[in-house]
Amino acid sequence: MRSKMPRTARKRRPRRHARVQRGKTNTPTPCTTSLLSSSSSSSPSYTMERDFTVLFRIRPSFLSPTPPPLITSSPPHTTTTVLEPRSSTALSSSTPTHTPHTFTSDHCYLPDSATSTLYTYHIEPLIPFVLRGGYSTVLAYGQTGSGKTYTLSECSRLAISTLFSSNDGQCSISIQAIEIYGKNKVNDLFDLSNARVLIAENIAGSSTFSKTTTKTVSSAIEMLEEITAAWSQRITRGTEKNPTSSRSHAIIRIICTSTTDRNSTPGVLQLVDLAGSERAADHSPSSSKDPTRMSETVAINTSLMTLKNCIRARTSPATAANGSVPHIPFRSSKLTLALKEAFDLYSRQPTHTVLIATASPDAVDVAASLNTLRYADALVTSPHERIELKPDPQGRNVFFWSNERLAAWLAKYSPLGEEQVQVVLDGMDGSRFAKIPEGELCQRMGEASDGKMGEKEVKEVYLKWWKLVIASRTLSQKALESEWKERQREKVRREEQEVAENEDVKRLLRLPAIASAPTTA
């Protein structure tokens, strides 16, 4: 959606908690952090007790005259009803003209709501979270022409302003911008001539944009100019729904690196504007015959289907028969690999995702709106909480090694002296040292040894270290799987206890017919 939405501020209605005040948060912890303050109880709430915040954003109708609303929500705006028109041929005088569908969200913003209101209560609290090392993703998801780009652009502008006013120099801020076009093409929006960009996982399992342009920025104005320039490079084409429809998924990744603790994990604010899902009816007769346009539509819908599969796996209550961890297929597409931190059950740093599901209120778009809200609704009641990776008791996992522990290992397996070891490590802990490329690590050791270590000796030390890194990844995976299975066992124990303590169940078990029934098949 490119035309302007009404900016009438909605009346603030009471919710369960007060909203956050900027900079007044506690240190975040995965899955359970609440960003709360002591402001008026009449304000909407913001809580990070779950991994996801799900918002519905309904754009205004562009029809004239404006038809009666098919999407409605009443205070406290956590439940939304979509009225699906029934076929006129199936109606009689006594048959309802619409089929109601009800969906749940953290909040539904109707057409008369301002984007700034959505930002204040749901995006702004992410800023101190990111500055303290959290990983936040703001994801706009919906049909083409439903208002994704409009909403995300406004939220991005406000977030950048808040980020720099809250920073106070504790973080160095850099930015990356890519678009995912077609099946496999990844474009660097800061350098369209750069054909080497890769979306990959690093050794710690985090999603990275390898070989993309990274720009360090020092002010909100500079960052706004960079993002505006990046957005302008996106591939767009006209459709029946939208004259400037985005034909790619765009991702802006803002990285906040601590200037006081070099080993701390950088905070990330990721802004994701997805290409809209499309149908054949969204194209004109001429464009529907254009093979390029149709291949774009196929690629968009295929990647969005993979995203839906990730949502389904992340929220499905069923687990494998042996109690193993559900498989989330984020490696099935470049888009979902880029969004790995939003959907992965294993958390290596505090994470939170805000999903803004945008929808059109018009009758012709009801099917697409139902599809969008149905998938977003599933994330509200997700039964799978993230698992935080913790150090193993024996201290074998190098990703948790301190600089001192790492220095002792390097001194033991190399001829380097204490000062030379520190030159190689440069204050790094095990997690940072594990991410250094082979060539750089070998060069560091060779230069620090003053000729004492030849290429063969350097290579031997590197291989010993690399084996430890691989072993640590295996340890981490086993520890996470063990924690998952323990959670499932605890869940079963709680359910059995609830049944045992339920008075109605007790009365049923005392009935003669049930008491005498065999307990096994």
Binding residues, as ranges, are 142-149
Per-state percent for the chain, helix, strand, coil, to nearest 5: 40, 20, 40
For residue 228, what are its two tokens? 């505006």
Question: DSSP state, 122?
Answer: I
CA distances from 422 to 101, 371, 418, 444, 452 (A): 63, 56, 6, 11, 16
Question: Over the range 70-84, which residues count as b (16 or more CB within 10 Å of their CB) and which as e?
Answer: bbbbeeebbebbbbe
Burial (0-12, 13-18, 19+ Cβ within 10 Å), 223: buried
The runs of H, that is alpha helices, within 252-333 are 291-315
Please count the residues of the chain.
521
The runs of H, that is alpha helices, within 45-189 are 115-118, 126-131, 148-167
The runs of H, that is alpha helices, within 56-147 are 115-118, 126-131
Q: Nearest 5°: CA angle at 399, between 269 and 411?
A: 135
Question: DSSP state, 33?
Answer: B
Determine contact, residues 11/75, Cβ cutoff 8 Å: no
Q: What are phi and psi of 253, to 5 degrees?
A: -115, 115
The answer for residues whose C-beta is within 8 angstroms of residue 258's C-beta and 6 or more apart is 133, 170, 171, 172, 264, 266
Distance CA 360, CA 371 (A): 12
Please report, in range form, the residues annotated as the binding site for ATP: 142-149
Burial (0-12, 13-18, 19+ Cβ within 10 Å), 94: exposed
CA distances from 289 to 87, 243, 283, 285 (A): 30, 18, 9, 7
Distance CA 509, CA 516 (A): 9
For residue 448, what are its two tokens? 């620090």
Q: What are phi and psi of 22, to 5 degrees?
A: -55, 130
For residue 120, what are its two tokens? 């204040």
Q: What are phi and psi of 220, to 5 degrees?
A: -65, -40
DSSP labels, 402-470 = -HHHHHHHHHHHSS--HHHHHHHHTT--HHHHHTS-HHHHHHHHHHHTTTSS-HHHHHHHHHHHHHHHH
